[in-house]
Amino acid sequence: MRDERLKYLAANIKAERIRKNIKQDDLAYLVKVSPRTISQIEQVRQTPSAFIVYDIANALNIPLDDLYKSVPKNRE
């Protein structure tokens, strides 16, 4: 279930970044991480910390909740 939820989070991050017309390199600069980190998060190859997700939401100028929309709840 964990990987499934990360897919939703990653898709939401990518969709919001594209909607805002921001390149991965630019988002990485705003969040103070490497472009590779943003790429790996969006490809579900890296699990972002809560702080990184918070920083991504701030960089995209959206509420944190927007990045978690449609992420299934853990039912375990």
Does residue 69 lie within any of the structural domains? no
CATH number of 35's domain = 1.10.260.40
Does residue 31 lie within any of the structural domains? yes
Q: 25-61, pLDDT tens digit by residue?
A: 999 999 999 999 999 999 999 999 999 999 999 999 9
Does residue 25 lie within any of the structural domains? yes
Q: Total domain count for the chain?
A: 1
Does residue 33 lie within any of the structural domains? yes
Helices (H), the chain: 2-19, 24-31, 35-42, 50-60, 64-67
Query: Which amino acid is present at 65?
Result: D
Q: Which residue range forms the structural domain that includes residue 11?
A: 2-62
Angle, vertex CA 37, rays to CA 33 and CA 41, nearest 5: 125
Q: 14-28, pLDDT tens digit by residue?
A: 999 999 999 999 999
d(CA 65, CA 46): 20
CB neighbours of residue 7 within 10 Å: 12
Q: 66-76, pLDDT tens digit by residue?
A: 999 888 887 65
